[in-house]
Amino acid sequence: MERELEYGGGKLTYKDYICALRKYHIPYFDRTYVTSIDQAKITQFDQWRIEQFKRIPARSTLQTHNSALQMVFKEAIERKWMIPVQVPILKSDGTAGQRRAVL
C-alpha cells in the first residue's frame, strides 16, 4: 500500500489502513504467522482492541480495521501463503458513529 501511494496510485484510505495496521494489528499479532490467525485469535484481538480504545469502537472504525486486515489476507493468498478458506470472518459490530459538534 505504501508503495502504491508513493508512486501516485492507491486509494486515499490506504493511509488509514496503514495507520490501523501499525497501531493495532502489528503490535498485537507481532510474530504470529498470518496462517496462524484463526477465528479464536480474531476474537481475542477484538477484546484487546476494546481494552486499547477503552470503549467499543465505532462501526466505521472496525470496517477500516477489517479492510486493512483483509488486504493483508489478500496479499497472503496471492503469495500462496494461505488459501481463501483459512481467512477468518471479520465482524464490524461496533457502535453507531456520533456526530461531531459543529463549530
pLDDT digits (tens, 9 = 90+) for 18-35: 999 999 999 999 999 999
Report the C-alpha gap between 99 and 97 in whole angstroms.
Answer: 7
Torsion of CA 76, 82, 85, 86, to 10 degrees: -90
91 falls within a domain: no
**39's grid cell:** 477465528
pLDDT digits (tens, 9 = 90+) for 40-99: 999 999 999 999 999 999 999 999 999 999 999 999 999 999 999 999 999 888 777 666
Residues whose CB falls within 8 Å of the CB of residue 55, separated by 6 or more in sequence, listed in order: 95
Please tell me the total count of domains within the chain: 1
End-to-end CA gap in the chain = 34
> What residues make up the domain containing 50?
2-86
13 falls within a domain: yes
